[in-house]
Structure 1
């Protein structure tokens, strides 16, 4: 429940940011929707690598090996910081090149460039907070990241309101103001995480030497497991960004509708995906204890829970769609497009949640990351991405019809994942013989 609440807070924050920016107009909403693609790709890469490391953290926690949890955390921070530095340099010095990958509309490029450059420091803060958050979660301290998220949520909302609209004596910055508020909130988040871990002497706290000096076998196994998860998430996020590249070229109204729909959909999916995080932690602990059959049964039950939650949330998404869409400053046509897209998202939500739990929770907790990567790369890059361009651009179908054909990818993926789950080939102890 704390993980679900944290996911809901995170998606609610995105909704509030988009509502504030969206009140400036469809052009501003579309520009920010395109600009944040680089941040989404970065976040997914961070999640991908730490997810691969979390496999080991969870199994180490199952055997109460706190020493190696700290080693794994230190390795995750070093790798994430190195990757984040590259993203920071691109965002700070050539943000216009990023925008031109997705759109050729000058107004969108100008606004999006300002947003990306202003928000560049976020890459560096996230590279530290994400690994420590993973360590807190896998040691079942899920309430601490939740409390931090609540504080960051309130701070971000207030700062964005202040800088976007020029309140409380601050300059009215518009789109860049949204990025500035989020940067300051992320800095606060980093401060709070370091305070909770080191000042309050959390069990994952340690001296510098406890986070480095890695055992060669530990590094080898973590990297072997984490590279596929990182590639999986990287190519998945790039693939979904290709949808943006296709949809954004249809027109401002069409993409604004997609962006608003994605923000609303995330309110429901991120909370549901907490079951995937819980699955990785709980089933991973069973595997770390060598209880393979218990791990399989627990995973099966959690998949059923995920299906039930997905159905309920899908119905909730459909029933609330018109009400939430009305909060955005979209044209009548844009609102109609967004409504149709949300109906499609709601219909596929149960399947989307099932696939998410299977990949990020079940396959990864047992170190079956190569198969998970292959499944997602094949379904996205061989089906979904070409379908987005063919339907939206080549055939010129309405944007909601293009979205429907792209979402059929979930059916293909689920067939593959069900067969893999039932085979039990994913259920492995990955920490055996690590000192």
Structure 2
């Protein structure tokens, strides 16, 4: 179940990387415009992904209970919340994005191009409000390959259409930066259409299923929202915390900041494997809880998931080792000081996957049992009581090396480690009441 989730996540990152590559011949200003618009659109999509992750767990619980009414309830409650969040996000983006972009853009041309890109990309956000809910439905039912297949369709379409519209190839008009946004719109609409056809073919959109899990749709929707909002709040908090840390990193030397900028995407992409395994664990655990599985069965599955997480962490750690050893060859045009900073990250990179993977297994298991508020509190504490204050202290007051600053990535995981594992070992999650 985990490998399609991992490949799907990598393909999502790949779309961003490919768009940036296709736009790069237009120059640094074009990339700056795309990056500026992407910061706003990325926040909107991230909130959708967070709510959809909650819907995925609810669908998995319903799938475990083997009832069409809970499945229908979970899907339509998730879709309603996604559309409401998207509507609010679109209103705010239309009202305030112009001011935000103008205040950060270095030139008028960058501001205009970023705004044009964002105006088109908002249609992607609208399409993904539906697409992510459909993805959550299939993932929650254990059919993770279907959502992965949708990206197999979307990615090549995105590349071809974007290339044509950016540079005026294949008989298409030359639109420049905004052409990348149109390419993503076409690919996203096609992906959603593919998922809609599969959804209707398999479920008939639940038109023949009568009633809701909690008697009325309003009651069901409220319970779904109560379950979901801590997951969305966790994402928003982490996004803001990450941006604050990036602003603090920018106050370091150019070489140190460049090293952190280079290593961060590697941490994000390789971390996908552990996170996807944890996400699959959460889906299966929610299915088991929904089916009323015995505590012994839950414990057996969790032990196996932990062993798999340990193996995945080892493989990621070895990949980091290869990256560190090859960094001088991969980035041979960088200054020696920057390459040395990259190599100094190796001890942290070798250790990081193990506590991070174990924490992720705990977090997804607790979320599957409905303990979303406690998980949110751990993440917020790790971000705002530990990582951000210590980043400020290390950079602004102690003037420590970049190696110590990067070490906060793993120290944050050790900070969260006892809170996650204590909660899990208490065992209350195994006796979670029905939440649908």
- String of CA shifts for 1:210-250, please: whole Å, max 9, x gaps: 69884455334322221222222222222223233434566
How far is the alpha carbon of 1:427 from its aligned partner? 2.6
Q: Structure 1 unaligned segments of length 5 or more: list them.
A: none
Name the residue aligned to 2:381: 378
How far is the alpha carbon of 1:73 from its aligned partner? 0.8
Q: Is the 8 A contact 1:48 1:233 kept in 2?
A: yes
Name the residue aligned to 1:66: 68
Q: Is the 8 A contact 2:166 2:175 kept in 1?
A: yes
Correspondence for 2:408 among 402, 405, 426: 405
- The verdict on how the C-alpha distance between 1:159 and 1:350 changes in structure 2, with shifts beyond 3 A counting, is farther
Secondary structure of 1:379's counterpart equals: helix
Secondary structure of 1:36's counterpart equals: helix
How far is the alpha carbon of 1:414 from its aligned partner? 1.7
**Aligned equivalents of 1:214 and 1:325: distance in 2?**
61
| Farther-moved stretch of structure 1 (406-415 vs 160-169) | 160-169
Q: Structure 2 unaligned segments of length 5 or more: list them.
A: none
Q: Is the 8 A contact 1:56 1:431 kept in 2?
A: no
- The verdict on how the C-alpha distance between 1:139 and 1:276 changes in structure 2, with shifts beyond 3 A counting, is same
**Aligned equivalents of 1:87 and 1:252: distance in 2?**
35
- String of CA shifts for 1:325-361, please: whole Å, max 9, x gaps: 97889865797388458745554233323222322x2
Q: Is the 8 A contact 1:14 1:263 kept in 2?
A: no
Name the residue aligned to 2:317: 314
How far is the alpha carbon of 1:175 from its aligned partner? 4.0
| Farther-moved stretch of structure 1 (389-398 vs 33-42) | 389-398
Name the residue aligned to 1:75: 77
Q: Is the 8 A contact 2:327 2:339 kept in 1?
A: no
Q: Is the 8 A contact 1:49 1:229 kept in 2?
A: yes
Pairs within 5 Å for 1:341-380: 343=346, 344-345=348-349, 347-359=351-363, 361-380=364-383
Pairs within 5 Å for 1:19-38: 19-21=21-23, 32-33=34-35, 35-38=37-40
- The verdict on how the C-alpha distance between 1:109 and 1:417 changes in structure 2, with shifts beyond 3 A counting, is farther
Equivalent residues, number: 429
Name the residue aligned to 1:89: 91
Secondary structure of 1:203's counterpart equals: helix
Alignment RMSD: 3.6
Name the residue aligned to 1:305: 308
Name the residue aligned to 2:206: 206
- String of CA shifts for 1:76-122, please: whole Å, max 9, x gaps: 11111111122223434532444578x57558963654543342222
- String of CA shifts for 1:375-428, please: whole Å, max 9, x gaps: 001110122223344445566666665333354212211222122221112334
Name the residue aligned to 1:288: 290
**Aligned equivalents of 2:409 and 2:188: distance in 1?**
33
| Farther-moved stretch of structure 1 (381-390 vs 70-79) | 381-390
**Aligned equivalents of 1:338 and 1:180: distance in 2?**
39
How far is the alpha carbon of 1:183 from its aligned partner? 2.4
Higher relative contact order (CA 8 A, sep 6+): 1
Name the residue aligned to 1:262: 264
**Aligned equivalents of 1:249 and 1:211: distance in 2?**
57
How far is the alpha carbon of 1:204 from its aligned partner? 6.7
TM-score computed with the length of structure 2 as normaliser: 0.84
Q: Is the 8 A contact 2:237 2:380 kept in 1?
A: yes
Secondary structure of 2:170's counterpart equals: coil
How far is the alpha carbon of 1:371 from its aligned partner? 0.8
- The verdict on how the C-alpha distance between 1:19 and 1:306 changes in structure 2, with shifts beyond 3 A counting, is farther
